[in-house]
Amino acid sequence: MTSSHETPPATLDTTLELTPGDWPSREVYFLMTGLVIPRPIAWVSTVDAEGRRNLAPHSYFNVVAHEPPHVVFSSSGVKDTLRNVRATGEFVVNLVTMDVVEAMNFTATDFPSDEDEFGWAEVTPVPSRTVAPARVAEARAHLECRVVETVAAG
């Protein structure tokens, strides 16, 4: 199959058929993230094996079950968040609202592993109730999570 459009359309006023290899990866990303809206952002806090904090946004996130509750998020490549989740089996999803969006955007920076994004973004870490990673005090909701499974994708 070939794509119905040689380049990404400005609007979706006609049916779009896409073979992902036909467009640059960045264009496919914008299409995928634009199709599922409103799209929540997972602002994931983790700690590494030594207890160093990490905080990073993840665009691909959603609830996948409610009984028992399960969420999923995707990491582009093996970054600090994924390394920490694999090492400790725990993470916190801090829900992003407009009042923290600037701080969240700041944490998208590719910081060295030993840098604490909480400090750089000037947000307050508070202890979680059931997992080691801190919650973001300024976030209005937090999902304290334990890993059930990791799946390689992409």
Residue 4 has pLDDT above 70, yes or no: no
Q: What are phi and psi of 132, to 5 degrees?
A: -75, -40
Across the chain, mean pLDDT equals: 86
Q: How many CB atoms lie within 10 A of CB 90?
A: 19
Kind plus residue range of the DSSP H or E element containing 81: helix 80-88
Task: Report yes or no on 12 lying in a domain.
Answer: no
E-strand stretches of the chain = 42-47, 53-58, 61-66, 69-73, 90-95, 125-126, 135-136, 142-146
Residue 116 has pLDDT above 80, yes or no: yes
Residue 6 has pLDDT above 60, yes or no: yes
Q: How confident is the model at residue 41 (pLDDT cuts 50, 70, 90)?
A: confident
Kindly report the length of the chain: 154
Total domains present in the chain: 1
Q: How confident is the model at residue 89 (pLDDT cuts 50, 70, 90)?
A: very high
- Select, from the ranges 5-9, 36-40, 75-79, 142-146, the one with the highest average predicted confidence (pLDDT): 142-146
Task: Report yes or no on 48 lying in a domain.
Answer: yes
Task: Report yes or no on 17 lying in a domain.
Answer: no
State pLDDT tens for residues 127-143.
999 999 999 999 999 99
CATH code for the domain of 120: 2.30.110.10
Task: Report yes or no on 11 lying in a domain.
Answer: no
Cβ atoms 128, 134 nearer than 8 A? yes
pLDDT at res. 48: 95
Residue 1 has pLDDT above 60, yes or no: no
Residue 72 vs residue 136, higher pLDDT: 136
Task: Report yes or no on 60 lying in a domain.
Answer: yes
User: Domain of 56?
Assistant: 42-146
pLDDT at res. 11: 66
